[in-house]
Amino acid sequence: MGRTARIERSTSESRVLVEIDLDGTGRTDISTSVPFYDHMLTALGKHSLIDLTVKATGDTHIDAHHTVEDTAIVLGQALKQALGDKAGISRYGDATVPLDEALALAVVDVSGRPYLVHEGEPAGQEYHLIGGHFTGSLTRHVLESLAHHAGICLHVRVLAGRDPHHIVEAQFKALARALRAAVALDPRVEGVPSTKGAL
């Protein structure tokens, strides 16, 4: 049975469909009505090698916040479902990824315990409007929603950066590479990689 998931979520603020395949090749089909977010999710799929389909619409005429948050919630839920009992996975992954002057570190533990540590963005990053729709503060919100609903421990740290676009993109790419390592199947792992016997 493949490590796949398909989840739909509808509220008065948004409609979101996410399909993922953890054992894919990084194929993506992304449309959230928030162009910069599309760009980030495309990078997430490409560099994690997770096949990712995201179709989302929402009240972006008011603000992108609801659609961005709800998409991250469903993405986290899909990741959790696709992981199943987590038998045979590597569990941990980390990556440090540059994008020109920006440098970001991401560390993932598929622990079943949601937690986020997010540090290092330069002062004022949260106020930048990137691509006309995506506010810099949404980066942390996406990471927080994803970690919570996927049940993963996630540390993301910006080590360097000046350009707001590069700072966000380096974080998404670092997350992608860390996830790629963490969800990978390791033939040497017997059962669930935990001394407790469950994750």
**pTM of this prediction?**
0.97
- Poorest-confidence range of 89-98, 151-160, 189-198? 189-198
Question: Is 68 contained in some domain?
Answer: yes
CB 39 within 8 A of CB 9: no
Tens of pLDDT, residues 167-179: 999 999 999 999 9
74: domain CATH number is 3.30.230.40
Question: Is 80 contained in some domain?
Answer: yes
What is the Cα–Cα distance from 97 to 43, expressed in whole angstroms? 12
Determine the Cα angle at 70 with ends 5 and 29, to 5°. Answer: 50
What is the Cα–Cα distance from 11 to 27, expressed in whole angstroms? 28
Question: Is 79 contained in some domain?
Answer: yes
Question: Is 138 contained in some domain?
Answer: yes
Residue 26 DSSP symbol: -
Question: Is 139 contained in some domain?
Answer: yes
Mean pLDDT of the chain: 97
Number of domains making up the chain: 1
Tens of pLDDT, residues 137-161: 999 999 999 999 999 999 999 999 9
